[in-house]
Amino acid sequence: MQIAIDGPGGAGKSTLSKLLAKKLGFVYIDTGAMYRAAGLACLRQNVVIREETDKAVSVVEGTEIDLTVSEEGQRIFLNGEDVTGLIRTPEVSMAASDVSAIPAVRLRLVALQRQLASTRDVIMDGRDIGTYVLPDAPIKIFLTASSDERARRRFIELKERGENCTFEAVLAELEERDKNDSTRAFAPLKPAEDSIIVDTTELNFEESLARLYDIIQERL
Ligand code: DC
């Protein structure tokens, strides 16, 4: 069984998917972590991704990116180094968005995502899971919320983690990423035609979780 959850950043995909996977006994796979790891690899090599596409491709092709899943959750590795704790900064978010626009990078990571989804029941979240990675997934959800609300949630999350940021900067970064992710030529962010669109702007966390759980239960 495959459940695809797509949507823009800050819509709550990963927190909700993680809990749903636990409730349903599925494995949760966060594909954004792979693009974040690829972005981090480029940042470490001082590649200006938007201007140096070839360099970015060669860095990503020369780097082993692995994702492991277990009861304790998902871990992401770059050449064997566990970078799970290093990929959630605003700088890495933007690098991930930039590197994800490069078709050669996507093809490599999509192959890994399909392989991970082929042997187990998964809830996979990302931007193109329903449209491109798992087009035959029987349950597809497009999770969204207004950009102000998404920025507010992301701002609280970053503050709780001790990051030094302003609401305005978080909002600007989210909007720039939305634009980047939805206007790229290859597998852009958009709802699959057969997806169910859930807008959580007016819903709190418990209500969002209940809505998704009901949608999934109805279709399982
Ligand atoms: O979900 P996230 O915020 O961790 O994703 C980081 C970036 O990676 C996002 O801005 C776009 C890219 N991404 C993608 O292009 N396709 C996916 N399936 C997942 C993420």
Q: Give residue 4's region: left, alpha or beta (phi > 0; psi -120 to 50).
A: beta
Backbone angles phi, psi at 176, to 5 degrees: -65, -40
pLDDT of 136: 97
Return the ligand 1 atom nearest residue 97 CA. 10
Identify the residue whose C-alpha is closest to ligand 1 atom 18. Answer: 126
User: What's residue 6's pLDDT?
Assistant: 98
Fold of 2-214: Rossmann fold (3.40.50)
Residue 73 is predicted with a pLDDT of: 85
Across the chain, which has 220 residues, the per-10-residue mean pLDDT values are: 96 94 95 98 97 97 94 92 94 96 97 95 97 98 97 92 92 95 95 97 96 95
Q: Which residues of 133-162 are buried (b: 16+ CB within 10 A; e: fewer)?
A: bbeebebbbbbbbebebbbbbbbeebeeee
Task: Look at residue 54 in the predicted model and tell me its pLDDT.
Answer: 97
Ligand 1: does its nearest atom lie under 6 Å from the Cβ of 9? yes
CB of 113 sitting under 6 A from ligand 1: no
Q: Identify the pLDDT of residue 168.
A: 97
Q: Any bridge partners for residue 140, and if so which?
A: 4
> pLDDT at position 71, please?
77
Which position has the token pair 């992301």?
154
User: What are the boundaries of each domain within the chain?
Assistant: 2-214
What pLDDT sits at residue 97? Answer: 95
User: What is the predicted pLDDT for the residue at 129?
Assistant: 98
Give the model's pLDDT for residue 163: 85
Which residue, judged by its Cα, is nearest atom 13 of ligand 1? 32
> Ligand 1 center to residue 202 CA distance, Å?
24
Cα 118 to averaged position of ligand 1 atoms, centre (Å): 21
Residue nearest to atom 10 of ligand 1 (CA): 97
**100 CA closest ligand 1 atom index:** 15
The pLDDT value given to residue 161: 86
| Residue 173 beta carbon below 6 angstroms from any ligand 1 atom | no
SS3 content of the chain, % helix, strand, coil (to 5): 50, 15, 30
Lookup: tokens for 51: 């201007």
